[in-house]
C-alpha cells in the first residue's frame, strides 16, 4: 500500500518533508497558490459559460497540494488546477511539477475563453 508523502516547495521545487511538525508549519504559513485567474461573466460570454447571473465570476486556480495524490507508486502528484463556477464547476486536473501545473492552468484558462472543452474520440 502506498503511503502519501508530504512535500514543501523550495524555489518552485517539491522537496519531501518527513518531519510532520515542520511540514505542518510550512503548510500553514505558505502561499500554495501557483496561479489564480478570474474570468468575469459579461453579457457577451454568459451563454458560452451557461451562466444566467452576469455578476458571476469563473475562477481557475492552481495550487500546490503538499501531499502526494498519486494513486500508484510512481512520481508524486502534487499540484491541482480547479475551475469554480460555470458549467465546468469543480473540474480538476492534477500535475506532477510546477511547470506542468502552470501549463495546465494556462490551458484551462485558454479553453474557457475559447468556449470550453471538447472531447475527441480516438
Q: What is the mean pLDDT of residues 7-25?
A: 95
pTM of the model: 0.83
| Confidence tier at 1 by pLDDT (50, 70, 90) | very low
Residues ≥6 apart with Cβ < 8 Å to 8: 14, 15, 17, 22, 23, 26, 27, 30, 66
Span of 8-22, 38-52, 89-103 with lowest mean pLDDT: 38-52
pLDDT of residue 47: 56
Q: Please tell me the distance from the alpha carbon of residue 67 to that of residue 77, in angstroms, as a whole number.
A: 8
Better-scored residue on pLDDT, 52 or 28? 28
Q: Where are the domains of the chain?
A: 7-113
Amino acid at each position: 500500500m502506498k503511503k502519501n508523502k508530504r512535500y514543501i516547495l523550495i524555489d518552485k521545487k517539491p522537496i519531501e518533508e518527513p518531519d510532520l511538525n515542520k511540514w505542518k508549519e510550512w503548510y500553514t504559513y505558505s502561499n500554495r497558490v501557483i496561479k489564480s485567474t478570474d474570468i468575469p461573466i459579461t453579457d457577451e460570454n454568459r451563454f458560452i459559460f451557461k451562466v444566467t447571473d452576469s455578476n458571476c465570476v469563473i475562477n481557475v486556480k492552481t495550487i500546490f497540494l503538499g501531499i502526494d495524490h498519486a494513486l500508484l507508486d510512481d512520481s508524486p502528484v502534487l499540484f491541482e488546477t480547479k475551475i469554480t463556477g460555470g458549467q465546468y464547476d469543480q473540474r480538476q486536473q492534477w500535475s506532477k511539477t510546477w511547470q506542468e501545473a502552470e501549463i495546465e492552468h494556462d490551458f484551462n484558462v485558454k479553453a474557457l475563453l475559447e468556449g470550453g472543452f471538447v472531447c475527441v474520440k480516438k
